[in-house]
Structure 1
């Protein structure tokens, strides 16, 4: 080899040694990331998600921040990466579009119950937060691999939600999440039905059924007067030594209906697969007597699947409103359909966000429901005998309240409370006697009640108002006596006793003076449950959102908890019913009957169970 060749080789080696390696070149092209914007966005995401639910009396818009805020902030994290992170162009493009593709793939793989709030509250926040956290932690690693690791973390975050299913939300807007592969309570119920007792011997005779249906004890939603007050034997309050006795407990399909009761017959509504079902059970054993099904399944991301309304008993018939809009009259003895009307067609509208929830009200020859259609198709009255439309009148387009029969100045009127306000209607013609405007940000779901003769109490998520009515030649004039934010029920009705209202102020139980609107006390975190007044015992029966049963003294001076026990398992929004010494409770997965201890235990338990709730 010549000297010239040796010199050429040596020069090439020197040049090669002086050139940076591939790793060094990549490192020289990369810079530490600008992380402070991502840190700020991650902190704001945590605040938006977890702080609003802890704020007492938080307005609805603040609660919506907890749902929408993390999604917006997650999108800003990806935007930071693309425009302001100091990542290289290759990193920015691969990271941004890679995260979008991962998110899209995971969203397409979600369980159908996770579509909507599940994406907003779990999928997007977790995925984008994981990507942002990875980018922050690896910001000074001058390697393209930091982008790969951030995307792998994003895959874990986005992908986690593909393992879940949602059964709706709790009252404080937290998703009720379960592993996707676990059977639902509804699936377990449907499997158990194959082994359930038959109804052949459930009822001994038609004559018995005729006798019970001729004098039903609890004919409608919230009982006589729709005020959730029971009259019966005095209840013992020492449950440590004399605890309520479980008579039976059975699985039921999802739904938020309560019970109507006639003797040994319980009527309710539930979802069974793709069939919305009206069911009659025996009150003493919980055995199914009959069921009537229509092919319909309503699901919403907050309430989950199933019907929302409660059956109404009248003159041997059961009137039911389905969540998708089917209004039916059934034979109470057999469940056979007498007529059916599709409220969607009559009102020319699709179901509202959380379904048709109006429990039918029977007045005279009409059965009345709220539909929320345009123009005069808001509140509808149908002929009991034929199902033909009798009258219709304007109302707000959203309400989860039911029509209420109130006696004002000695006469009966139908009162409908909606997101537009209150309508006082002539029950025979539907003609409006008063339209009180109160436009709500959200919805109405609580029943109006009369106090002090001719004053009406209306309650919403925003506040409670007391309205004094004055009779005029063609209707009523309304003057607001007081408005108070001291009682803000959501879908949790309040009860009235001796001039005080007892109910849920959001998730905490409270007592309000109805003369002034001032709150006497607020205590007891029972979630968004329901309450029943045992008037002759002077106690409140509260069913908590998680199924616990709490006995409170109806004491305006202080919150006085007398006893409690776990009655049901699972989310419980359904109204409890007490007949004599029997307590009937249910939720979206099970129903139960308990015998309450009474003061005079020498009485025949069967006689106590048959005592009726006296009309108010």
Structure 2
């Protein structure tokens, strides 16, 4: 009997592990996906975007938004700004698009005139930890919702609590969940909160030269020179921050035009790649020869990034530029290996092995072959008549596209499906 009991326990444990792995494969739980790098796990993608390969499953109209969809194994979470005054969060059935719940609050604001032509919609992509959904509202407000019911669990208004200014472009940096903690660029600083209570545990990189906390880039957690740390790009610089204490381990100024450091920092070995508007691209390498971090500029080139964070495949970064072209950069040398013709103003990029899906702001979906030899467009298809500024989400066989005024679900139809 004991052996039978042990066997049954073993089966339960195996089933539990398989279930957890499947759940993780089925989740696109935050900005740029499960590992915050735009890399998609799972089966190989087809080589075509034709109607018999990629089919639309459903479409639901929504108020406009820039924030990308977040996906669990059963639910899709999206945001919107209704009537230019109310922020709305929706939980939709992944299979049908039916609304499971929705909540809203007063929270809209207007961005500066030179950016207003593209709208003043909610910007940051929420984060989901399996039970809780963390949503950043434009007016520098962070809200925790029960993912099953939409019930509000806590709310932090950084302007009221910290006495900071309302950020000119709203809360644009997407929250990062790591264990029991939540990290955000808000309140004119970089902040760690207890994700269960919303208590602020520390503030770091305060004010950043008077930019008013309007940070655009989203933080990552990684290891550099043997030390686990948060890497954050403010409007002025890159910095490594200790997750426990909030102390700044290192920092390096990133030249930018009007603080337009928008890309999410991207790691390559012990280096961080970034690129800024009307400037350059750089690889900064971290070393710790005498117990203290040293940051060196390994190389720079004239590739001017804008809003699109690259995907890294092998030793190459595939980046969409300010001039609307794609380029491939050898991260070992800093040399560009090719540059494409122009496309849209913005592309969100995800990758799987040697394939890249690029969602163009004009509503076009591009399928690229990731090769450093030449730009290779495998297929292109219009998937929206509206702009598609929000980041694409891919989970298993499903592709979720946030149109400006709708959400569409698409599905790969593979052989044998």
TM tier, shorter chain?
0.7 to 0.9
Distance 1:326 1:556 in 2: 42
Summarize deviations over 1:148-186 as a string: whole Å, max 9, x none.
xxxxxxxxxxxxxxxxxxxxxxxxxxxxxxxxxxxxxxx
Q: Distance in 2 between matches of 1:276 and 1:239?
A: 34
2:233 corresponding residue in structure 1:
417
Q: What is the TM-score when the length of structure 2 is the normalising length?
A: 0.87
In the alignment, which residue of structure 2 is the partner of 1:570? 386
1:561 aligned counterpart, secondary structure: strand
Q: Which has the higher strand share?
A: 2
The answer to whether structure 1 residue 249 and structure 2 residue 59 are counterparts is: yes
Q: Is the 8 A contact 1:446 1:492 kept in 2?
A: yes
TM-superposed CA distance for 1:524, in Å, is: 3.5
Distance in 2 (alpha carbons) for counterparts of 1:454 and 1:483: 16
Tell me which moved more, 218-227 or 335-344: 218-227
Instruction: Return the alpha-carbon distance in structure 1 between the equivalents of residues 296 and 352 of structure 2.
Output: 30
1:269 aligns with 2:269: no
1:318 aligns with 2:133: yes
Q: Which residue of 2 aligns with 1:456?
A: 272
Aligned partners of 1:400, 1:587: CA distance in 2, in Å?
21
Q: Following the alignment from structure 1 to structure 2, what is the Cα–Cα distance between the partners of residues 241 and 318? A: 34
* 2:103 pairs with 1:259: no
Question: Structure 2 CA distance, aligned partners of 1:339 and 1:212?
Answer: 30
Q: 238-247 or 324-333: which moved more?
A: 238-247
Q: Which among 78, 86, 95 is matched to residue 284 of structure 1? A: 95
Q: CA deviation at 1:412?
A: 2.3
1:563 alignment partner, SS class: strand
Instruction: Name which one, 1 or 2, has greater alpha-carbon Rg.
Output: 1
Aligned to 1:485: 302
Change over 3 Å in CA distance of 1:211–1:292 after alignment to 2: farther
Query: Does the Cα contact within 8 Å between 1:584 and 1:593 map onto a contact in 2?
Result: yes
RMSD: 2.1
- By how many angstroms is 1:240 displaced? 4.5
Q: Tell me how far 1:393 sits from its aligned partner.
A: 1.0
Answer whether contact 1:347 1:371 (CA < 8 A) is retained: no
Q: How does 1:486-505 map to 2 (within 5 A)?
A: 486=303, 488-505=304-321
Identify the match of residue 182 of structure 2 among 354, 360, 367.
367
> Where in structure 1 are there 5+ consecutive unaligned residues?
1-209, 605-616
1:429 aligns with 2:239: no
Q: How far is the alpha carbon of 1:214 from its aligned partner? A: 6.9
Who is 2:286 aligned against? 469
Partner of residue 18, structure 1: none
Cα pair distance change 1:472/1:323, threshold 3 Å: farther
The alpha carbon displacement at 1:474 in A equals 5.1
The two structures have a TM-score, normalised by structure 1, of 0.60
Once residues 23 and 144 of structure 2 are traced to their aligned partners in structure 1, the CA distance between those partners, rounded to angstroms, is 17
> Are 2:138 and 1:328 equivalent residues in the alignment?
no
> Is residue 358 of structure 1 aligned with residue 173 of structure 2?
yes
Answer yes or no: is the 8 Å Cα contact 2:317–2:331 preserved in 1.
yes
Q: How far does residue 339 in structure 1 lie from its aligned partner after superposition?
A: 0.3
1:509 maps to which of 313, 326, 336? 326
What is the aligned partner in structure 1 of residue 361 from structure 2?
A: 545
Match of 2:40 in 1: 230
On the 8 A contact 2:59/2:408 being kept in 1, the answer is yes
Q: What SS does the corresponding residue of 1:224 show, helix, strand or coil?
A: coil
Q: Secondary structure at the match of 1:229?
A: coil
CA distance in 2, matches of 1:384, 1:241: 42
> Could you tell me whether the CA contact under 8 Å between 1:268 and 1:278 is conserved in 2?
yes
Structure-2 residue corresponding to 1:149: none
* 8 Å contact kept, 1:381–1:389: yes
Q: Kindly report which structure 2 residues correspond to 1:521-536, keeping only aligned pairs within 5 A, or say none.
A: 521-536=338-353
CA apart distance, 1:327: 0.4
Shift of 1:298: 2.2
Other-structure match for 1:120: none
Alignment gaps of 5+ in structure 2: 1-18
Residues 595 and 335 (structure 1 numbering): CA distance in 2 closer, same or farther, change over 3 Å? same
Shift of 1:213: 11
Alignment partner of 1:344 is 2:191: no
Question: How far off its partner does 1:404 sit?
Answer: 1.3
Q: Secondary structure at the match of 1:344?
A: helix
Maintained 8 Å contact 1:279/1:288: yes
Q: How many residues align?
A: 385
Please say if residues 255 and 276 of structure 2, whose CA atoms lie closer than 8 Å, have aligned partners that are also in contact: no
* TM-superposed deviation, 1:317: 0.5
The structure-2 alpha-carbon separation of the partners of 1:294 and 1:556, relative to structure 1 and needing over 3 Å to count, comes to same
- Given the superposition, is the C-alpha separation of residues 414 and 241 from structure 1 closer, same or farther in structure 2, using an over 3 Å criterion? closer
Distance in 2, Cα, partners of 1:400 & 1:585? 21
Q: Which has the higher contact order (CA 8 A, sep 6+)?
A: 2
The 8 Å contact of residues 266 and 310 in structure 2, kept in 1 or not, is answered as no
For 1:108-143, what per-residue CA distance to the aligned partner results, in whole angstroms no more than 9, with x for missing partners?
xxxxxxxxxxxxxxxxxxxxxxxxxxxxxxxxxxxx
